[in-house]
Structure 1
Amino acid sequence: MKKRCSFFSEKEAVSPVIGVMLMIVVTVILAGAVSSYANSMKTQDTAPQLILQAKASIQDGYVHIEHMGGDTIAKRDVQVGIESGYPSQTGFVDNDKVSFVPNDNYLNPGDEARVNFTHSGSDIFITFDGSEIKQQVELGEPFRLMIIDSNSGQTIYSARITLSP
């Protein structure tokens, strides 16, 4: 008669308590990893939503921007950029060259903003100048006006404007 090997005859496994504890440990580690990843995600500020309309005239001496509707914006929270020329160059107008009318600190629906430029002796050129910009725009030449929200870094408004007489 053959003797059976007792090595394979005993069928004991890890107890259920240890198995449950291992599953709990794995769950806690996964929850910690997901929580760490979720907390490291930075939420992005949303830019104000508004409708603007802009035009520029040498005769007026400024770029006229009308707030047609949407959120109110604060002057301290925006930057006004001008892009022109070939190859195109972009610069930001100094805040003292930008005025909001009637309230100089906020632009509400129905209000207007003005971006001042200098007009040289000739009738065909204007210049946007400041600490971060020195650009000439010729009569009839289109240029891009951009209004950027400083808090979120997003462009609020961008339009291609043609300089009129």
Structure 2
Amino acid sequence: MQLKTLLTEDRAVSPVIGVILMVAITVILAAVIGTFVLGLGDQVSDSAPQASFSFEFSDTGDDGFGGGADDYVNLTHEGGETLEAADIDVDGDAGDVNQSSPFPNATISAGDTANYNEVDAGETIRVVWTNPNGGSTNTIARATAPQ
């Protein structure tokens, strides 16, 4: 047996590399196709919008239950993404607060203001975005009414 011919023999290298590359390509394609078939690709782009809100609380008196009947919060969109009003809900610790004057348009953009009343002292008010594609919710702003 010739030792020199064994060291220079490289016929089996090319088919082994070819098989490894084919397996790698198959695995990658299966992962990409599986992601879209299972719908995981749609959820990646549905993250909560980035928006800033300011809260202006008014305490006009006590109704005997910890908050005045006329206590309210003015909620103003300060900046960030434009939001669909149908996807936004405002609630407090005690449940939904009453909207006395809504956002002026179907879309909420910087500078738009809405008024919510029956806010109790110490109650945390949240602006909640509901994903229109999946129903998941995210709190995008929150503030607590003064005591």
| TM-score over 0.5 (shorter chain) | yes
RMSD: 3.4
Name the structure 1 match of 2:128: 148
Gaps of 5+ in 2: 62-69
- Specify the SS of the correspondent of 1:31: helix
Compared CA separation, residues 62 and 105, structure 1 to 2 (3 A): farther
Q: Does 2:145 match 1:161?
A: yes
- Specify the SS of the correspondent of 2:110: coil
Partners of 1:19 and 1:108 in 2: CA distance: 59
Q: Does 2:2 match 1:18?
A: no
8 Å CA contact 1:80–1:145 kept in 2: the answer is: yes
Shift of 1:38: 5.4
Compared CA separation, residues 15 and 58, structure 1 to 2 (3 A): same
TM-score, normalization: structure 2? Answer: 0.61
The AA in structure 1 aligned to 2:102 is F
Shift of 1:37: 6.2
Higher relative contact order (CA 8 A, sep 6+): 1
Shift of 1:107: 3.5
Q: Does 2:30 match 1:29?
A: no
Gaps of 5+ in 1: 1-5, 84-89, 118-125, 127-136
Name the structure 2 match of 1:112: 113
Larger helix proportion of the pair: 2
User: What is the percentage of aligned positions where both structures have the same residue?
Assistant: 19
- Specify the SS of the correspondent of 1:76: helix
Shift of 1:116: 2.8
Residue of 56, 79, 83 corresponding to 1:69: 79
Residue range with higher mean Cα deviation, 37-46 or 21-30:
37-46
- Specify the SS of the correspondent of 1:142: coil
Residue deviations 1:28-50, cap 9 Å, x none?
23323442465445313231412
Superposition map of 1:76-115 within 5 A: 76-83=86-93, 91-93=95-97, 97=99, 99-100=101-102, 103-115=104-116
Compared CA separation, residues 26 and 143, structure 1 to 2 (3 A): same
- Specify the SS of the correspondent of 2:47: coil
Name the structure 1 match of 2:49: 47
Partners of 1:71 and 1:18 in 2: CA distance: 54
Number of equivalenced pairs: 125
Larger strand proportion of the pair: 1
Compared CA separation, residues 110 and 26, structure 1 to 2 (3 A): closer
